[in-house]
Amino acid sequence: MAKASRNKSHIEEQMENNILFETWTQNWGIRVYPAYGIDKLKFSFIEKGAQGKGKSFDIYVECVRDGAQCFDNWAYDITHGRLERVLAAEKQSGEKYPKTYKYTTGENAEKSIGIMNSTNGGYCVNASVPGPDNKKIFANIPVTFHDLRHIAERYIISYAPRLTELEEIRKKAALDQAKWNKDEEKPAEKETPTKEAPKAETPKAEAPKPTKESEPKKEKAAEIITLKLKTTSPMTQTKNGQDLAIQAVTESGEAKNIIFLTADTEKVDDAKWSKFLSSTKNEGCKFTGKFTVSPKGTLMFKGF
């Protein structure tokens, strides 16, 4: 662990290296980095002497998401004293592994990180990932409650601007949706007839035959495109409670929101749809699908 210079505090040097927190044991160290561009925290577990290789590994934890298992909820519990009470109850019931504060990620949820009671008193950050020969690699980093509080407080301060940015995006989307709804509901303006002086009757001319230009134009069907995607969040329900939504990235790394309307998913083979839903319980699911694109850039699922 780098020592602070005489002119800078240790915390200042950590911030300059984009590190929210770090601590070391005899064999392992842990560093916590912000990855707010993808709304996650990066926990790096570093084996001494491995220099980023060997048994060292990273786990990304989502900052904010539906459900209890995200760091935003953990930070709230840490700063409001709930974490201490919950872990005290887990200790009394004999829990030996993370239970309430456990986050799983990766394909088939093979990676996990959690906060638990330490056998020597205090707490520890427990993590595991797949290793060679189908054996798991485990890391247990002892931390104090003050360590956890430092991580939580630095996270809350540094993530606040990103939360403000996300709220502005939400507000703009809500305004755009309201404007769209208003335009859709607005009745067509009727022309007010004007009074004209009576004219002498003239022979009636035959009505002109409709030309191609005067014929009503048919709406062009939405173009269906095929994309290869990788999910970056678990499948969730939309606000109407009937349809589904998920976030993913394209092969070029472009982030996309995907909506699965019930009317379209019902057309998919039941066995294939059930298998797909099961694979999207965690992020990292790769699949190829057919979609249309909404005016806002959202992908609307049409089939596989």
pLDDT of residue 202: 60
Tokens 């004209």 map to which residue?
196
The three state secondary structure string of 129-177 is EECHHHCEEEEEEEECHHHHHHHHHHHHHHHHHHHHHHHHHHHHHHHHH
The CA distance from 275 to 212, in Å, is 49
Instruction: Give, for all 304 residues of the chain, the pLDDT tens digit.
Output: 455 556 778 777 777 889 999 999 988 999 999 999 999 999 999 988 755 456 889 999 999 987 678 999 999 999 999 999 999 999 999 999 999 999 999 888 899 999 999 988 899 999 999 988 888 999 999 999 999 999 999 999 999 999 899 889 989 988 888 888 877 776 655 555 665 656 656 666 666 666 555 555 555 678 999 999 999 888 888 877 778 899 999 988 888 999 999 888 888 888 888 888 888 888 889 999 999 998 888 999 999 9
**Per-residue confidence (pLDDT) for residue 118, from 0 to 100:** 94
Measured distance CA(219)–CA(58) in Å, rounded: 50
Single pTM value for the model: 0.56
pLDDT of 211: 59
Contact between 257 and 298 under an 8 Å Cβ cutoff? The reply is yes
Three-class SS state of 299: strand
Q: Taking Cα atoms as reference points, which of 10, 41, 43, 18 lies closest to residue 28?
A: 43
Query: How crowded is residue 194: how many other Cβ atoms within 10 Å of its Cβ?
Result: 5
What tokens appear for 49 in the block? Answer: 């002497």
Which domains are assigned to the chain?
Answer: 10-161 (2.30.31.10), 223-304 (2.40.50.140)
CA 151, CA 47: separation in Å to the nearest integer? 21
230 forms bridges with which residues in the sheet? 249, 286
User: Can you give the length of the chain in residues?
Assistant: 304
What is the rounded distance in angstroms from the CA atom of residue 267 to the CA atom of residue 276?
A: 14
According to the model, what pLDDT value does residue 259 have? 93
Q: What is the pLDDT of residue 30?
A: 95
Backbone dihedral region for residue 296 (phi beyond 0: left; psi -120 to 50: alpha; all else: beta): alpha
* pLDDT for the residue 52: 47
